Amino acid sequence: MYCLMKRFASHRIYMFHEGVLLKSYVVEVEALTGRVLRLYPFTDELSFTEWLGGLIVISHEKPDLSDIVVGDAISTCDGIITKKSASTEFSEDTLLYAFYICDFNVVAMSCSDSSRVIQLC
C-alpha cells in the first residue's frame, strides 16, 4: 500500500509513552493520518525534511502541556539519550502520533505561557 509521507526533524524528540528523550532525530509521519512511521537519527541533510526547532512529542494521544514535564534528570545533558540503532520502524498496529510543541524552551526544557500543541501530519 502506498502512503504519502512527511518528514520532520528536531533538536529533541520526546517519546512520551517511554519517557525517553532523543537528541537530533527525524520522524516520518503518514500525511493523511499523522501516524508515526519511522524514527531515525539526523545524520545528513535530507530533501523534503522540515526542521522544527524545539520539541516533538511522540504519543498515543494529544498531550496536555501540563504533561510535558521532561524532569530534572532529562533536562541535563547527561539525561539525553541518543539511540544507537539506525532506525526505529513501527508496525501498522502501532498508533503513535507526532505533536510539535511550538514555543518550547529547549535550554530550560520547559513550556512557556505561549506554548501550544500542534499535531504533525
CB-based contacts of 42: which residues, under 8 Å, 6+ apart?
A: 9, 24, 25, 26
pLDDT along the chain (121 residues), means of 10: 84 85 92 92 91 92 79 43 52 86 84 90 91
C-alpha atoms less than 13 angstroms from C-alpha of 61 in its C-beta half-sphere:
2
Q: What is the pTM of this model?
A: 0.81
C-alpha atoms less than 13 angstroms from C-alpha of 30 in its C-beta half-sphere:
17
